[in-house]
Structure 1
Amino acid sequence: MDHSNLKLSEEKVFKDPVHRYVHVQDQIIWDLIGTKEFQRLRRIKQLGTTYLTFHGAEHSRFNHSLGVYEIVRRIVDDVFQGRPEWNENERLLSLCAALLHDLGHGPFSHSFEKVYHTDHEQFTRNIILGDTEVHAVLHKVGADFPQKVADVIGKTYPDKLVVSLISSQIDADRMDYLQRDAYFTGVSYGHFDMERIMRVMRPTEDQVVFKATGMHAVEDYIMSRYQMYWQVYFHPVTRSAEVILTKILQRAKALYQDAYQFKYYPTHFISLFEEKISLEDYLKLDEPVILYYFQMWEEEEDVILQDLCSRFMNRKLFKYVEFDPSKQYKLLGQLEELFKKAEIDPDYYLAVDSSSDLPYDFYRPGEEEERLPIHLLMPNQERHELSRESAIVEAISGKRRTDHKLYYPRELLLDDSKHREVKQQILSILEKH
């Protein structure tokens, strides 16, 4: 039986707050959604610790993955259909890659990746190619189909147009998460006219281009991305929670390596601590599991682990001040010494966190992470790179904005039961800056 064209007897729909409905007509897509690896994404938040800043941000990677699939479905079924540049045989591949692009994300993924050296993109490919329910479903389409899906997500698939649908400077992934994250955080920045963008999309051999008449909708998208990064994704309070989360993971790992006797043995973490995590172990990790450990560790003998877990679970976050590492690097060393004098471990209670974003860039050959520019299709059929036509986009093109904050536990410094003078000295240094 040819599974590549197998349709459901009746279309299935998911009600969605962003796209109104997510439509499923293909048996393979329906089967993929039902796999345990895809259902796991319900237990991983799309925005990590952001719910501690914007209380509505409880949506999951499951929501987002369905949204990306729906945008790609509309592009290939409505916008591209019948156009000579689009190969209709790539339809199902594009839909599967869109649906599965985030499959390998772990709990609070960015903190986990930093501390335990995991890579969610590699795990996505491992799940697709490994002994999993997802692999079994994809294999029904063809023996080489799982590899093709992994190649699209890994950006190595030969048809660059298919890759660009989920991985470019204006792709279905970003178009969904900007709108979805804006909706759930309650901010107005992430909204842009996706309907207009889709109307002016045109497929070419290697990427999607946009009719010049739709330039303002594309500008709006770029600016909404810029605003969302600074107002939501890099919010300093979210980053404070992220710092504490990272410190918990580091502390648990350090204790394990020092043969500390945990009251609540970290079974799910062992392969992470030893950095030899199997696919099976990885798939058992989700945010409810991690939060269970954090709640248990609030009762650990180790004061630092206990305190950090309590802070995270009860939202007692670190305060922050602006910090310029290029000018203030000596200050950091000075503060570390004073923290030690005050018997507050600077490894866990003093942290510099940096955020950096490049809202739009044009192609610069040979540079790290080369980015395909966004091209406008002019009335004479020439292609012009976006920033050549848009003064707004030109103003932010290639400009990397970076922000540094120094995080510390203010209430520990206000506790004057001991080392009062040192703590006052630390506070005066921090609050002067």
Structure 2
Amino acid sequence: MLPREKVFRDPVHNYIHVRHQVILDLINTPEFQRLRRIKQLGVANTVFQGAEHSRFTHSLGVYEITRQICDSFKNNYPDQWDDSERLVALCAALLHDVGHGPYSHTFEHIFNTDHEAITRRILCNESTNINHILREVAPDFPQKVASVIDHTYPNPQVVQMISSQIDADRMDYLLRDAYNTGTNYGLFDLTRILRVMRPYPDGIAFDANGMHAVEDYIVSRFQMYQQIYFHPVSRGMEVVLMHLLARAKTLYEAGRFDAAYNPRLLIPFFEGTWTLKDYLKLDDGVLNTYFTYWLDYPDPILKDFSDRFLSRRPLKSATFTSDTENLLPDLRTLVAEAGFDPEYYTAENDSFDLPYDAYDPSSANPKTQIEIMQLDGSLEELSTLSPLVAAISGRMTGDKRFYFPKTMLQKSGDSSTYQQFQHYLLNGALINLR
């Protein structure tokens, strides 16, 4: 324990309280400090300009909520909670996102990385500062923390604190993302939820008198996905970023990358030979620097997409369904006739989410359901008690979009090509242009 509590001022939780030396030491490692340079919401700041917060601030927030849960369990349920589990829970909460790369999910898609697997490598690889600090607790402590993150830790209470349908991770990112995007969709009563959260031998449940606070959380999460995380313009910028990285990778693999513009830190990823040391050198700023260099690159596609990304020129989009996706090949042909390479200047993007999913053991990834504890100690699954949650339970929400150059919506140039494209959009029921 620290001789005196260390605090971090935070806009969401007011103060983040650190009482263990090991937590402070982990925060000060280079691997954890790197998260300051990776934005929590990737390219969403191109739509919500306040969304500049980092994986670092989010990770501290998840730690703080987990600390509050542990305090509540220790004070109110000492017969159901073993407080010797506190440190492994706090370390897992703090470190759960340490493996994220630059522009997290887009980078993963292009280079086939897995941030969860990399998180476990950072924890368990003896070359990292984080591993060294965790081993000072106990030789097997890095593996214990990693097992919480990959859901194999034997205590389900600890696992569900960090990863479940209502966990410290989700609660922090909803509140933090709502605050930084300037929206109210993600707000819910965190204090009340923590008050009614309680441990039982097989995991974590919620008192029946707090069910409405849990309902509010579910609805808030649903609204955040629809209004923020699935925003079509933000997804359009993700398409630009994905095609930018894909073009750079293609040029390099074809031996056509001008040596004067070589992205030295990305080459191991182009070649598939990257190491953990290579990975930990990357952050959002590294990629942005390369994109700035490529503004002068002779390849017109790489140059244009670098400018599109840095200058915020997303592709436009329209929704499509299974009934209208047969129009997409013709739309791609028209984009090509207008002078654009459809491999890069068109894209299909779908974003879907389950607001709440009752436990189904037969599914590929069964979810831990939210349990409501009745006065007699029995447990009822949330959607069986809440008509509101039942109405959205198991219902996939989101849309599919076709992305294309904004130029295709203007009436100049080859009028027949442009007008035919617009005709397809309007008469083919590809609507909701963004």
If the TM-score is normalised by the length of the shorter chain, which range does it land in? over 0.9
The match for 1:279 is 276
Offset of 1:261 from its aligned partner?
2.9
Asked if 1:425 is matched to 2:420, the reply is yes
Cα deviations by residue, 1:50-91 (Å, 9 ceiling, x for unpaired) = 000000000000000000000000111233345212111111
Pair 1:164-2:178 in alignment: no
**2:104 and 2:332 mapped to 1: Cα distance?**
28
Q: Which consecutive residues of structure 2, in runs of 5 or more, have no partner in the other structure? A: none
Q: Does residue 175 of structure 1 match 2:171?
A: yes
1:27 equivalent in structure 2: 21
Query: In 2, distance between residues paired with 1:410 and 1:430?
Result: 13
Name the counterpart of 2:313: 316
1:409 counterpart = 2:384: no
Q: Is the 8 A contact 2:165 2:369 kept in 1?
A: yes
Distance 2:367 2:222 in 1: 16
Give 1:99's match in structure 2, choosing from 94, 97, 114.
94
Equivalent residue number for residue 4 of structure 1? none
Contact 1:164 1:207 in 2 (8 A): yes
Cα distance in 2 for partners of 1:221, 1:115 equals 33
Match in the other structure for 2:133: 137
For the pair 1:397 / 2:393, whether they are aligned, the reply is yes
Match of residue 79 from structure 2: 84
Provide the secondary structure at the position in 2 that maps to 1:209: strand
Residues 226, 398 of structure 2: 8 Å contact kept: no
Q: Which residue of 1 aligns with 2:106?
A: 111
How far residue 274 of structure 1 moved from its aligned partner, in angstroms, is: 1.8
The within-5 A match list for 1:42-81 is: 42-81=36-75
Counterpart of 2:121 in structure 1 is: 126
1:307 aligns with 2:318: no
Residues in 1 aligned to 2:78 and 2:166: alpha-carbon distance in whole angstroms? 20
Once residues 423 and 255 of structure 2 are traced to their aligned partners in structure 1, the CA distance between those partners, rounded to angstroms, is 38
The whole-number CA distance in structure 1 between the counterparts of 2:39 and 2:303 is: 24
Structure 1 pair 126/401, CA: closer, same or farther in 2 (3 Å)? same
Structure 2 vs 1, CA of residues 79 and 34 (structure 1 numbering), >3 Å: closer, same or farther? same
- Is the Cα contact below 8 Å between 1:128 and 1:150 reproduced in 2? yes
State the alpha-carbon separation in 1 of the partners of residues 409 and 165 from structure 2. Answer: 44
Measure, in 1, the Cα distance between the counterparts of 2:8 and 2:426. 50
SS across alignment from 1:298? helix
Residue 9 of structure 1: aligned partner: 3
Aligned 1:303-382 pairs, distance under 5 A? 303-324=300-321, 326-382=322-378
Q: CA deviation at 1:178?
A: 0.3
Q: Distance in 1 between matches of 2:81 and 2:274?
A: 40
Q: Give the partner amino acid of 2:285.
A: P
Q: Give 3-state SS (helix, strand or coil) of 1:267's partner.
A: coil
1 CA distance for matches of 2:325 and 2:229? 26
Cα distance in 1 for partners of 2:30, 2:411 equals 48
CA-to-aligned-CA distance 1:363-409 (integer Å, 9 cap, x gap)? 11120110011000101111010011111001111111230111111
On the 8 A contact 1:31/1:137 being kept in 2, the answer is yes
Q: How many residues align?
A: 425
TM-score (norm 1): 0.96
Matches of 2:117 and 2:274 in 1, distance apart? 12
Matched with 2:201 is 205
The secondary structure found in structure 2 opposite 1:216 is helix
1:416, distance to aligned residue in structure 2 (A):
4.6
- Aligned pairs for 1:139-158 (under 5 A) are 139-158=135-154
Partner of 2:285: 288
Distance 2:195 2:417 in 1: 63
CA offsets, 1:71-129, max 9 Å, x none?
Answer: 00011123334521211111100000000000000011110111111000000001111
Contact 2:110 2:246 in 1 (8 A): yes
1:265 to 259, 262, 270: 262
Q: In the alignment, is the contact (CA less than 8 A) between 1:50 and 1:57 conserved in 2?
A: yes
- The alignment's C-alpha RMSD in Å is 1.3
Does the CA contact (< 8 Å) of 2:72 and 2:195 recur in 1? Answer: no
CA contact (8 A) 1:41 1:103 kept: yes
Secondary structure of the residue aligned to 2:261 is coil
Q: Distance in 1 between matches of 2:257 and 2:144?
A: 46
Unmatched segments (≥5 aa) in structure 1: 1-6
Q: Secondary structure at the residue paired with 1:104? A: coil
Q: Is the 8 A contact 1:148 1:157 kept in 2?
A: yes
- How far does residue 431 in structure 1 lie from its aligned partner after superposition? 4.3
**AA aligned opposite 1:149:** V
| CA shift for structure 1 position 423 | 3.2
Which amino acid counterpart does residue 304 of structure 1 have in structure 2? I
1:8–1:27 Cα contact (<8 Å) kept? yes
Instruction: Provide the rounded CA distance (Å) in 2 between the counterparts of 1:413 and 1:380.
Output: 63
Q: What residue in structure 2 maps to residue 228 of structure 1?
A: 224
**CA contact under 8 A between 1:41 and 1:62: conserved in structure 2?**
yes
- In the alignment, residue 279 of structure 2 is paired with which amino acid? Y
CA contact (8 A) 2:73 2:81 kept: no
Q: Is the 8 A contact 1:117 1:275 kept in 2?
A: no
Deviation of 1:277 after TM superposition, in Å, equals: 1.8
Distance 2:85 2:16 in 1: 20
Question: Residues 140 and 426 from structure 1, CA distance in 2 versus in 1: closer, same or farther, beyond 3 angstroms?
Answer: same
> SS state of the match for residue 398, structure 2?
strand
Name the SS for the 1:355 alignment partner: strand
Deviation at residue 415 of structure 1 after TM alignment: 8.1
Would you say the 8 A contact 1:80–1:202 is kept in 2? no
CA contact (8 A) 1:322 1:405 kept: yes
Distance 2:207 2:325 in 1: 48
Structure 2 equivalent of residue 3 of structure 1: none
